[in-house]
Chain A
Amino acid sequence: MNFDFTEEEKKFRQEVEDFTKEELPPDWNEKALYWPAGYGTLPILEEEFKDLYDRLLLKLGQKGWLNLGWPKEYGGQNSMIKHAIADDVMSYYRIPGGDVSTAICGPTIAIVASKEMKQEWLPRIARGKVRMWLGYSEPNAGSDLAALKTRAEDDGDGHYIINGQKIWSSGAHIADYGWVLAKTDPNAPKHAGATLLLVDNTTPGVTIRPLENICGIHSFNEVFFDDVRVPKCNVVGEINHGFYYVMIALQYERLFVGIGAFRRVLEELIEYVGNTWHNGQPLAKDPLVRHKLAEMAIEIEVLNGFYWRTVWMMDQGLIPELESSVLKLFGTELGRTLASTAMEILGLYGHLVRGSKWAPMMGRISLGYMDSVSGPIGAGTSEVQRGIIATRGLGLPRK
């Protein structure tokens, strides 16, 4: 066993650290609101930061840091641990080190797509030139994704025609392409007959309608497809294998817990209780406050265990199906616990939001408290994850 990083990995961490500090605007700390393992405050989903993040992605692409975890034959380094280190550092600065396209779709394409699709898409994604959104959920297909209704029909002329609706489509409004799951064989059993397609947002018939989340941020959307023509070359992998590919993509998506942002919040809380006086002493001397923060430090360390173990398994060629579900479950639940704990420590000051001169930590805690609702719901609810762990991981019967 070895719980340390190699010298090369440590050097790489420092490089990413230096790069991030250099690239982020001086007022970034005031602007960035990201709450760890939340889906509603990710700066990469906000219109306001689109230009900044587009530019950052290009620079990351130049450095070769967007495809660190991909196989070497597609320009990657086959090192998920480096990918994870980059995300650890950058999420500490509240800016994830990749896009849906680079961290979720890219590595999935590298595994499942045709040679032609890999050649066409992977270099562009790796250079940070393509941004994507995930088109899975529908109004009546949430946890029961297999109930999806969106159809893609072969028009016999080299295209699929898509009709239907997606919802909770995070970042569809700032992305270029949808990674869309649609039913291609309505007669197939429930978990077959769906296909993944890359849909250009500018195709006629695509309508993106904003949804404002409870943080007051436009992070997700409804997306409507009306006779949207998608060329057959945009089909990912094989027809009717979509569900299988989504399962692979989800393992990458579940790494998105903002591991560094947890550490950041804990550091800020420690600083806050050290500087905040109550009843003639700093809050840091109050045993109840000390115990709350000790609890958070323990839970964050456990999360690190699940994170680095999952990443390590990927590098070993093992499939972390159970582990990635545990990571997602534990991380998003911890996002909520951390927010609750922080609000308890803030007391009345937690009532104040950004813009109030009295709001501690620039109002990030009260906003995070709202955002932390999203983590255990999105990308497979906590209940769905527990089901996966119990049945696929521990072999419990489904019936």
Chain B
Amino acid sequence: MDFYLSQEQNLLKDSAHNFLAKECPKQLVRIMEASETGFSRELWQKMAELGWQGLVIPEEFGGSGGTFLDLVVLLEEMGYYICPGPFFSTIILGCLPIISAGSDELKRAFLPKIAQGDLIISMAITEQSASFTASSIKVSAQPDNKDYLINGMKLFVLDAHIADYLLCIARTNEEKQPEKGLSIFVVEAKCPGIKQTPLKTLAGDKQSEIVFENVRVRNNDILGDLDQGWPIVHDTVQKASVALCAQMIGGAQAVIDMSLEYAKQRTQFNHPIGSFQAIQHFFADMWTYINGSRYLTYKAAWKISQGISAGLEISMAKVYVGRTYRRVTTLGHQIFGGIGFTKEHDLHLYHKRSIIGDTSLGDSDYHKQLIAGELGL
């Protein structure tokens, strides 16, 4: 066993921490929340110069060929600074499936541009049922000569408002089992027939409703094979769950750090509140939750990087880390008291993201069902 990060991972972690401390202050996070785009092109380009977008892209396509575990190390730091922008959508939801299932042609066309920060992609999975099961996908793609026509509505599509392309999951075969009749289409986000409407969200993150009306795509715009899209989606959602866990751990770590600093200097009854046992015990529990979370997440990421099946660990991480982030921010609120309940204080930024993270990409009830299945129940 080895619980150390590699030297390169430590370098990446430190440089990301320092970079974001300077380039991603909370002021920027707040501006992005309130803005329409939620996106700073300048920050995005600087990240690309540091090689973040290209971190897991193979070298032959202009990236640095890092592992999924490397990506998790970076995402934890991005979560610490709640870094805004389309990194999660482009890299996790867009780039990973292209790397794992895209044709050579698609990779050559997309990956170098992604690495350079010139392309934004997202994946359109969920619909009105807000579910991550194959049977919930109703958007259809019907053959029309050599093309397909996509019709239907997607909901909760991340960063679709600024995306250049969407990976749209659509049903291409009604006859087969739900998992066996789905295909992934690479669709230009601004093409005729697509109507994008922004959703008003709790944390100001940018999600959209997307209506497809006879959107014409070519049959070679399919990622992977016809009717074989679901395993790719499933794999992407699994990796995205771990990626989200990494961000949530970073967020929880930021909250415990902020709270510790405060508890050491805030004085009541002539003593720092951190000297009170009730407060100390909160911290002991926060530390325990966060580091338990870290183990589950890094173990899952390590397994993914090693190519070992990790379904059990991924679901365990998603349930536990989501709960951790919520518990830690709630305890943080208890420590900060009234000031933490103000808009000017930063804690609410984390509090919002904790509930959003916990309920995204399969909530804990969904993942507990998966765990039960993995346990043989």
Residues of A within 8 A of B (CB): 1-5, 81, 270, 273-274, 284-285, 287, 289-291, 293-295, 297-298, 301-302, 304-306, 308-309, 312-313, 322, 326, 329-330, 383, 385-387, 389-391, 393-399
- Contact, CB under 8 Å: A302 / B369: no
Of B277, B283, B292, which contacts A394 at CB under 8 A? Answer: B283
- Contact, CB under 8 Å: A1 / B283: no
Residues of B within 8 A of A (CB): 1-6, 69, 260, 263-264, 271-272, 274-275, 277, 279-281, 283-285, 287-288, 291-292, 295-296, 298-299, 302-303, 312-313, 316, 319-320, 365, 367-369, 371-372, 375-377
- Contact, CB under 8 Å: A330 / B292: yes
Closest to B289 in A: A302
Query: From residue A285, how far is it (CB to closest CB) to chain B in Å?
Result: 8
Assuming A290-B377, A293-B377, A297-B375, is B288 touching A326 (CB within 8 A)? Answer: yes
For residue A4, which residues in chain B have a CB less than 8 angstroms away from its CB?
1
Q: Cα distance A396–B271 when bound, in Å?
A: 12
- Contact, CB under 8 Å: B372 / A306: no
- Contact, CB under 8 Å: A386 / B285: yes
- Contact, CB under 8 Å: B291 / A326: yes
- Contact, CB under 8 Å: B319 / A393: no
Q: Cα distance A390–B183 when bound, in Å?
A: 52
For residue B312, which residues in chain A have a CB less than 8 angstroms away from its CB?
297
Closest to B303 in A: A3
* Contact sample, A vs B, 7 pairs, CB 8 Å cutoff: A294-B319, A302-B292, A387-B277, A389-B283, A389-B287, A389-B288, A394-B260
For residue A284, which residues in chain B have a CB less than 8 angstroms away from its CB?
372, 377
- Contact, CB under 8 Å: B372 / A301: no
Closest to B365 in A: A291
- Contact, CB under 8 Å: B272 / A290: no
The prevalent SS among residues of A at the interface is helix
For residue B271, which residues in chain A have a CB less than 8 angstroms away from its CB?
397, 399
For residue B283, which residues in chain A have a CB less than 8 angstroms away from its CB?
389-390, 394, 396
Of A3, A301, A306, A393, which contacts B316 at CB under 8 A? Answer: A301
Q: Cα distance A396–B303 when bound, in Å?
A: 36
Assuming A2-B2, A3-B1, A3-B299, is B287 touching A393 (CB within 8 A)? Answer: yes
Q: Cα distance A297–B302 when bound, in Å?
A: 19
Q: Cα distance A301–B2 when bound, in Å?
A: 17
- Contact, CB under 8 Å: B1 / A387: no
Closest to B272 in A: A397
- Contact, CB under 8 Å: B372 / A290: yes
Most buried by B among A1, A330, A399: A1
Query: From residue B292, how far is it (CB to closest CB) to chain A in Å?
Result: 4
Query: From residue B157, how far is it (CB to closest CB) to chain A in Å?
Result: 29
Of B1, B295, B320, B372, which contacts A293 at CB under 8 A? Answer: B372
- Contact, CB under 8 Å: A270 / B287: no
Q: Cα distance A139–B375 when bound, in Å?
A: 45
For residue A285, which residues in chain B have a CB less than 8 angstroms away from its CB?
377
- Considering the complex of A and B, which 5 residue pairs feature the smallest CB-CB distances, nearest first? A305-B295, A390-B280, A386-B284, A290-B372, A294-B371
Of B263, B281, B320, B369, which contacts A386 at CB under 8 A? Answer: B281
For residue A389, which residues in chain B have a CB less than 8 angstroms away from its CB?
280, 283-284, 287-288
Q: Cα distance A284–B372 when bound, in Å?
A: 9
Query: From residue A208, how far is it (CB to closest CB) to chain B in Å?
Result: 35
Query: From residue B131, how far is it (CB to closest CB) to chain A in Å?
Result: 16
